[in-house]
Amino acid sequence: VLPFPSQVIYNRVGKCGSRTVVLLLRILSEKHGFNLVTSDIHNKTRLTENEQMELIKNISTAEQPYLFTRHVHFLNFSRFGGDQPVYINIIRDPVNRFLSNYFFRRFGDWRGEQNHMIRTPSMRQEERYLDVNVCILENYPECSNPKLFYIIPYFCGQHPRCREPGEWALERAKLNVNENFLLVGILEELEDVLLLLERFLPHYFKDVLSIYKNPEHRKLGNLTVTVKKTIPSPEAIQILYQRMRYEYEFYYYVKEQFHLLKRKFGLKSHVTNPHPRREFFIPSPLETEEPIDDEEEDDEKWLEDIYKR
């Protein structure tokens, strides 16, 4: 009897801890005997209709139980007559995600001093060493919309309007989170994300937290930390925040849902909002209050309903 759900997709968002999670999944797939299906395609998140059909067909015929992972915007299996799998994902503070990506493209991580040259071989030297403040304040394409509208399309989907910063894409992304994602976690609270994944998907994630906390795994994880990151000026940070206002509305919405979920399952995190460095302060008018208790619905019944979607 297949563990259920037997089809899980982690359409991982770039620079949101996905390499750490994939390292864990490789260990877990051997430990628990599920089929980990990864993709070598890292830079094609938007697909034509034919490409969507082909990818959905390939995923659907994988040996079950499987967990498929790739950097790809949300795919609607039911649109093409397939069974909709369970989705999971992790996001992080949008400015921090942008900065991690900005410096990773230029300087890579601790896995090798030259791996950034392999990753971006055509990048000119003047571009590689472009000061991030200059990029933001002088409105270079890399540091302006729509390049900064990055997280929402992973949840909105493949529709062309999903790539246009605005309310339509934001609301569609929220709807998909509610209807198609079992869990969207927050990287800043990764241990709690792993605890909930272990609770919701034990056939895939049993013992994940103990593996994550293992010193040997921590050594591997440290190699994926982006190097040479610097913090932009307060003025540049505020400009980024304004340019990413839809991203932040989505981030705070997901964070609120995540905290409600933690409270529902009795998780009282030791992670608190750290006091930001003065120069890195980002206003957060959408910050959520403490989630309220909701004891009307039985926990296990709630999980069963999610799995049956």
Q: How confident is the model at residue 56 (pLDDT cuts 50, 70, 90)?
A: very high
H/E segment holding residue 190:
helix 190-200
For residues 165 and 94, the answer to whether their CB atoms sit within 8 Å is no
Contacts for 173 with CB less than 8 Å, ≥ 6 apart: 152, 153, 155, 156, 162, 250
* Alpha-carbon distances, residue 105 vs 43, 76, 277, 300 (angstroms): 12, 30, 25, 43
CATH code, domain with 251: 3.40.50.300
Q: Is the pLDDT of residue 33 over 50?
A: yes
* C-alpha to C-alpha distance for 207 and 94, rounded to whole angstroms: 29
Tell me which of 36 and 125 has the higher pLDDT. Answer: 36
Chain-centre distance for alpha carbon 16? 5
How many structural domains comprise the chain?
1
**Which residues on adjacent β-strands are paired with residue 10?**
69, 88
pLDDT at residue 108, as a whole number: 78
pLDDT for the residue 276: 39
Domain-embedded: residue 228 = yes
Does any domain span residue 192? yes
Average pLDDT of every residue of the chain: 85
- Asked, for residue 85, whether it belongs to a domain, the answer is yes
Whether residue 261 lies inside any domain: the answer is yes
Q: Could you tell me which of 256, 298, 264 has the C-alpha nearest to residue 196?
A: 264
Six token digits for residue 140: 């270079």
The reported pLDDT for the residue numbered 61 is 94
Judge residue 217's burial from the number of C-beta atoms within 10 Å of its C-beta, 0-12 exposed, 13-18 middle, 19 or more buried: middle
Decide if 87 is inside a domain: yes
pLDDT band at 227, cuts 50/70/90? low
Q: Which residue range(s) make up the domain with 35? A: 7-268
Give the pLDDT mean for 97-119. Answer: 72
305: in domain: no
Q: Calculate mean pLDDT across residues 216-241.
A: 80
Q: Is 73 a catalytic residue?
A: no
For residue 180, being part of any structural domain is answered with yes
Q: How confident is the model at residue 286 (pLDDT cuts 50, 70, 90)?
A: very low
Of 71, 159, 203, 217, the catalytic one is: 71
Q: Look at residue 218 in the predicted model and tell me its pLDDT.
A: 73
The CA distance from 155 to 36, in Å, is: 22
Is the bond preceding 146 in cis, omega lying within 30 degrees of 0? yes
The secondary element (H helix, E strand) that includes residue 294 is none
State the average pLDDT over residues 195-211. Answer: 96
Q: What value does the mean pLDDT take over residues 41-47?
A: 91
Q: Of 4, 73, 11, 58, nearest to 34 (Cα)? A: 4
Q: How large is the angle between the packed helices 245-264 and 234-243, nearest 10 degrees?
A: 80
| pLDDT level of residue 97 (50, 70, 90 thresholds) | very high
Beta strands across the sheet bearing 86-91: 35-38, 66-69, 7-10, 86-91, 181-186
Examine residue 231 and state whether it is found in any structural domain, yes or no.
yes
Say what the pLDDT of residue 168 is. Answer: 98
